[in-house]
Amino acid sequence: MKHLIIISLFLISFNSFTQSKWSFGVEAFPNYTIMTYQSDGTFPNDEDFWKDYEIGKFCFSQQFYTSYKINEKSSVSLGIGYHKTGQRTKEMKYIYGNIDPRRGFVANDPNDPAIPAKSQFYYNHHNIQLPILYSFNFSKLIYIRGGLNTIFNISNTQTHYFTDQGGNENKNTIDYNSTNFRKVNLSARLGVGFNILNREKFRLYAQPSLEKSFLGLSKNASLNRLPLSFGVGFGVQIF
């Protein structure tokens, strides 16, 4: 009987401890992603061209996470979720008969209403993310949160939006395998958050953040792209 009482007290204490230390949450991170470039010098003129031709695009990531409270000021979390980066090109207007391959091409019949009048390409990189983040509370309202994110690439797509000479808008999405995409990457993430609503059992927060990849998207491209994302994450954490 004595041993049973001791075990029961231990389980009750352990349950109270785990309930006070562990919490769970979900977070969405709408963001704007741009590409930074890393060249090996093989084609020195390419970097300037692509910097001018490619622009950023809106992306979206989300994660589910569990957090362990180290003390009243700090905690560490481990999450899993969907992660997307990408870029787009500027809209191109085709001038038929122009021999510049970047701005136009020769058509058999420039007046054919089915050929493109203008087009734009969107590139999306779809990933699974495993973030490990440390959070430090400056007060009940403001905190800082940062850490490392392991990124597993699962697919890459190219979407071509174009308007033909007849004014019809078209869209075509294909798998994008123009390079040997890196399957595993790492990024650093840092944000300053604000608790919008803080209650005993949950909190709602907003967190302006930056995320920068350490490695290029490709394993062997002469001009590599490294995503840089900035936006505001919104989440709920349940204690």
Q: What is the pTM of this model?
A: 0.83
pLDDT at 41: 83
Residues of the chain with pLDDT under 50: 1, 3-5, 7-17, 103
- Give the pLDDT confidence of 24-74 residue by residue, as tens digits: 999 999 999 999 999 988 887 788 888 899 999 999 999 999 999 999 999
Which residues lie closer than 8 Å to 17 by C-beta, 6 or more apart? Answer: none
3-state secondary structure of 228: strand
Alpha helices in 54-212 (DSSP H): none
Single out the residue of 64, 56, 58, 1 nearest to residue 28, CA to CA: 64
H or E, element range at 149 = strand 142-164
pLDDT at 13: 47
pLDDT at 165: 80
Strand runs (DSSP E) across 12-141, as ranges?
22-39, 54-55, 57-69, 74-89, 92-93, 116-137
